[in-house]
Amino acid sequence: MTLRRLALLPGVLALSACEGGFQSPLAPAGEQAASIHSLFWLMMAVCGFMYLLVLAGLGIGLLRARRRRSETGEPSINPADRGLTRGLVAWAALIVVGLAVLITGSFLVERTIAGARARDALEVRVTGHQWWWRIQYRDPATGAWIETANELHLPLGQTTRIALGSSDVIHSFWVPNIAQKLDLIPGRINRVDLTPTRAGWFRGQCAEFCGVQHAHMALDVKVDTPEEFARWLASQRRPATPPADPAAARGLQLVTRGQCAMCHAIRGTQAVGRAGPDLTHFGGRRSVAAGTLTMSRGAVQGWITQPQAVKPGTMMPPVALSPADADAVSRYLMDLK
């Protein structure tokens, strides 16, 4: 048995040493994730202790029994086991105590998460689509909804209440560093609160299997200082600025007159499609196609002309463009900051 325990050791070490990345509940950057993280370590402590007890009991028991071993011995039938019975009662009591601790801890953390709801929370709507995220902010000034996609900005230290919905199948909204996941279900609105405590970029990913491109349904999350956030929201409120560069102007024409406008909206232009992501400030985002490619002109061009090669099964149809036109469209889109 010692061998087996040794075999587990590297795993345990790796676990305690491993650092969570930008998509991990082990590196909390939000109040909700932090309280769950402390619950996690409470559970690890209690469960780890119980596991060591089981292994110790098994190890000691086998070592002692080995000495008693004899091949010829008759089986012993119903021996007096008073000591073992007492041990069983003690063990059961210990389990009950351990469970009581864990159930209480779990209950308290659940309350904390529920209690984080501030009345003046920023209101955001997130809608799941196969396979991208529609994001809408309630403008604090006018009460209108400001739409963007696949990139969520959150103000540091403030609670954002996100209303989750789905336009097609069940998805799950999960930004593990900041808060626990919650499903997006057609016909329902679920609400999750996010209170980020650390600025920077994080990543979220759809957590409920939602079809062929479930793997590529990621969400970039940026936690800004409140000032940065206000500035960012103001920039999102504005419609797209008309391009100055002639190549980009040609791109605008191609986008608004061609097939793009049937699915995509660019505020300030004639493109008002609703089936795909809003592209008004597309060039200012960090990634293309819901976290599939890093934003660059090459990536945009590749995505437009051959989306099925980048993300097989995506709803985005390929757009037939000459190399020059593709270049113009990507220039225009990159300029949409």
Partner 1 sequence: MSDPRTPAVELRTLHVSWADAPGIWGFLTTVDHKRIAARYILTVVLLLFLAGMLALDMRLQLAMPDMERMTPQLYNESFSLHGSTMLFLVSVPVMEAMAIWLVPLMLGQRALAFPRLAAFSYWLYLGGVLMLWVPHAFGITPDLGWFEYPPLSGPAYSPGHRADIWAQMITFTEVAALAASVNIAATVLKMRSPGMTLARIPLFVWAMFLASLMTIFALPAVMMVTSMLIADRLVSTQFFAAAAGGDPILFQHLFWWFGHPEVYIIFLPAAGFVSVIVETFSRRTLFGHAAVVLSMLAIAALAFGLWVHHMFAVGLPRLGNDFYTAASMAVALPAGVQIFCWIATLASGRPRFDTPLLWVLAFIVTFVIGGLSGIMTASAPLDQQVTDTYFVVAHFHYVLVGGAMFPLFGAFTYWYPKATGRMMSELWGKISFWLIVGGFNLGFFPMHILGLQGMPRRIYTYSEGMGWGPLNMVASIGSAIAVAGGVLFVANAAWSYFRGRAAGPNPWGGSTLEWAAPSPPPQHNFDAMPVVDSLTPLWTQKQELAVMTGLAVDRREVLVTSVVEATPEYRQKSPPPSIAPLLAAIAVTILFVGSIFTPWALVWGAVPVAIGLTLWFWPQRERSTTGPLRARNR
Site for partner 1 in 154-183 (CB under 8 A): 164, 168-170, 172, 174, 176, 180-183
DSSP letters spanning 286-305: SEETTTTEES-HHHHHHHHH
**Cβ(281)–Cβ(236) under 8 Å?**
yes
The Cβ-side half-sphere exposure at 120, using a 13 Å CA radius, reads 3
Count CB-CB contacts under 10 A for residue 330: 25
Using CB under 5 A as the binding rule, whether residue 336 contacts Cu ion is answered as no
Site mask for Cu ion (CB under 5 A), range 194-223, x = bound: ------------x---x------x------
2-17 vs 31-68: helix axis angle to the nearest 10?
A: 170
How far is residue 163's CA from residue 193's CA, in Å, rounded to a whole number? 9
Q: Binding to partner 1 (CB under 8 A): which residues in 55-84?
A: 55, 57-58, 60-62, 64-66, 68-71, 73-79, 81, 84
321: closest CA among 217, 251, 248, 266?
Answer: 251
User: Total residues at the site for Cu ion (CB under 5 A)?
Assistant: 4
How far is residue 227's CA from residue 233's CA, in Å, rounded to a whole number? 10
User: What is the Cα gyration radius of the chain?
Assistant: 28
Using CB under 8 A as the binding rule, whether residue 263 contacts partner 1 is answered as no
Picked from partner 1, Cu ion, none, the partner binding residue 16 (CB below 5 to 8 A depending on kind) is none
Site mask for Cu ion (CB under 5 A), range 168-197, x = bound: ---x--------------------------
Tokens of 69: 């071993």
Question: Least distance in Å: CB of 114 to partner 1?
Answer: 6
The Cβ-side half-sphere exposure at 135, using a 13 Å CA radius, reads 23
Using CB under 5 A as the binding rule, whether residue 122 contacts Cu ion is answered as no
How far is residue 151's CA from residue 176's CA, in Å, rounded to a whole number? 15
> Looking up tokens 């109040």, which residue turns up?
31
Per CB under 8 A, the list member of 2, 6, 11, 120 interacting with partner 1 is 11
Picked from Cu ion, partner 1, none, the partner binding residue 236 (CB below 5 to 8 A depending on kind) is none
Question: Least distance in Å: CB of 221 to partner 1?
Answer: 12
Q: Binding to partner 1 (CB under 8 A): which residues in 105-124?
A: 105-107, 109-110, 113-114
Question: Least distance in Å: CB of 115 to partner 1?
Answer: 11
Task: Indicate the residue among 251 and 302 with the shorter CB distance to partner 1.
Answer: 302
Question: Least distance in Å: CB of 78 to partner 1?
Answer: 5
Task: Indicate the residue among 210 and 260 with the shorter CB distance to partner 1.
Answer: 210
Burial class (CB in 10 A: 0-12, 13-18, 19+), 14: exposed
Task: Indicate the residue among 216 and 331 with the shorter CB distance to partner 1.
Answer: 216
How far is residue 304's CA from residue 195's CA, in Å, rounded to a whole number? 36
How far is residue 28's CA from residue 177's CA, in Å, rounded to a whole number? 5
Using CB under 8 A as the binding rule, whether residue 206 contacts partner 1 is answered as yes
Q: Binding to partner 1 (CB under 8 A): which residues in 23-52?
A: 23-26, 33, 35-36, 39-40, 43, 47, 50-51
Question: Least distance in Å: CB of 66 to partner 1?
Answer: 8
